[in-house]
Amino acid sequence: MIKEIERQTTSGYTALLVLLVALIGTIFLAFSRSPLALVLLLPIGILLAGLFLVNPNEARVLQLFGKYVGTVKQPGLRYANPFYSKRKISVRVRNFETGKLKVNDKIGTPVEIAAVVVWRVIDTAEALFEVDNFEEYVHVQSESAVRTLATNYPYDEHEEGEASLSGSLSEIANKLKDQIQERLDTAGVEVIEARISHLAYAPEIANAMLQRQQASAIIAARTKLVEGAVGMVEMALDMLTKQNVVELDEAMKATMVSNLLVVLTSDRGTQPVVNTSSSKSE
């Protein structure tokens, strides 16, 4: 495996000054019709090819007849062997969004999922020489990691504490980042961040799943409502007993519990009925 070697090069400004002085001298020799001017002109032209520019957050990979000799990361005008090829590569932070992928989650439910991946090149030699096209490699491997992740988790949480695609956002993001990084280690790429940007049920089951979610929400709400109503009824009976407001036999308690539960759990307004008859027959 080829690893990056950071190479120090000569300042291009110094080399440019020397070459300009040599070029001016050659021009004077040419005006004096000296044959030495033609001899010097070709080497100066070749030496000028050693000048190259390195922008901030950019690198130049140097090769000599196909052999990797190092990477220059110092910004500014630099000078190296004119026979080196100087391939430009960006080390800036980049990001891309995968397309919407249709996959089956852990329990076989078809879902649509997409992710945003933030990355950068940290080893220029691996990026250029270990894979054919490192940008395409990042895209393909990221989509593969998203597919694998989606098949390992359910869309919704079915058991308490279970990780899910829609509910465990932080855990899913970390897992996705680790899976993508594992695939991109050989390409000299660092994954800075990876997160799900789109998550939805597939269109063919979206309506059915929406109804299921609504039903689950209604059941959960009703459960809380019943728990609260039972507590209020229990509290009312205790207070009536402790304060001796009224003495209730078991039949009256059952009737009162039934009426209170109807009032407290009903989703519509109840109509009061006034009973004017005596509780005991005379």
- Domain assignment present for residue 74? The answer is yes
215 phi-psi bin (left φ>0, alpha ψ -120 to 50, beta other): alpha
Q: What is the pLDDT of residue 282?
A: 42
Q: Determine the Cα angle at 131 with ends 126 and 137, to 5°.
A: 110
- Domain assignment present for residue 140? The answer is yes
d(CA 129, CA 121): 13
**Domain final residue, candidates 171, 201, 231:** 201
d(CA 98, CA 146): 9
Q: What is the pLDDT of residue 207?
A: 63
Q: What is the pLDDT of residue 145?
A: 94
- Domain assignment present for residue 169? The answer is yes
Q: Do 43 and 18 share a structural domain?
A: yes
Q: What is the pLDDT of residue 205?
A: 60
- 3-class secondary structure, 56: coil
Q: What is the pLDDT of residue 189?
A: 95
Q: Do 185 and 107 share a structural domain?
A: yes
Q: How many structural domains does the chain have?
A: 3
**Domain final residue, candidates 201, 225, 242:** 201
Q: Which residues of the chain register pLDDT less than 50?
A: 274, 276, 278-282
Question: Do residues 172 and 199 make contact, with C-beta atoms less than 8 angstroms apart?
Answer: no
d(CA 276, CA 228): 30
- Domain assignment present for residue 16? The answer is yes
- For the four alpha carbons of 196, 197, 203 and 205, in that order, the dihedral sign comes to positive
Among residues 46, 47, 78, the alpha carbon closest in space to that of 62 is found at 78
Q: Do 195 and 99 share a structural domain?
A: yes
Q: What is the pLDDT of residue 280?
A: 47
Q: What is the pLDDT of residue 115?
A: 94
Domain with residue 193: its CATH number is 3.30.479.30
Q: What's the domain range around 31?
A: 10-89
Question: Do residues 64 and 84 make contact, with C-beta atoms less than 8 angstroms apart?
Answer: yes
Q: Do 181 and 119 share a structural domain?
A: yes
Strand segments, DSSP code E, in the chain are 10-11, 51-54, 58-64, 67-72, 76-79, 85-90, 94-97, 101-104, 110-121, 189-201
Q: Do 160 and 211 share a structural domain?
A: no
Residue 168 burial (10 A CB sphere; 0-12, 13-18, 19+): middle
Q: What is the pLDDT of residue 212?
A: 60
- Domain assignment present for residue 2? The answer is no
Please state the separation of Cα 110 from the chain's center in Å.
21
Q: Do 147 and 80 share a structural domain?
A: no
**Domain final residue, candidates 66, 89, 112:** 89
